[in-house]
Amino acid sequence: MDVEIRTYELRQDGRLEPLSILPISYYGGVCPNVGDTLCCDHFAEGSRFYSVQRRHFIAVGATHGWAIITRRIEAAQQHLTVYDAWNADTAFWNEVDEREREEELQAMQKSVKSPKTAPPKNAKRSSKPKRPLRK
């Protein structure tokens, strides 16, 4: 079983609101640390920014993983700049990947359409001189 990371938002009244349960592989095998900023559009409607306040490793019975305690934060200019740059880079690289896939597909289609032709009947097989027969 993969290690789970359960993310909670600490509300004003002190209660914890569950945001997500994801395998650690979702985060690249690394558990978010205190002070990290999470920008996740899957936590709530639209993009939200969260600051990691605490993290707890929990092991109860067969279940184990990290409980990440976050606070929702207002988007500072730096957060928005990083978020916009990430999205622009993602769009750029997705376009590059799409073009490369199209080029590969066209190359495969071209190779399938042009069958290999046999050499002309009078073509020489080798440019090496023939050996004389021994008697």
The predicted pLDDT at position 121 comes to: 66
What does the pLDDT look like over 57-93, one tens digit per residue? 999 988 899 999 999 988 888 888 888 898 889 889 9
How far is residue 90's CA from residue 63's CA, in Å, rounded to a whole number? 35
Q: What is the dihedral of CA 60, 28, 6, 13, to 10 degrees?
A: 140
Residue pair 70/19 in contact by the 8 Å Cβ criterion? yes
C-alpha span between 61 and 58 (Å, rounded): 10
Stretches in the chain below the pLDDT threshold 50: none
Q: Which of 35, 43, 41 is nearest to 5 (CA)?
A: 43
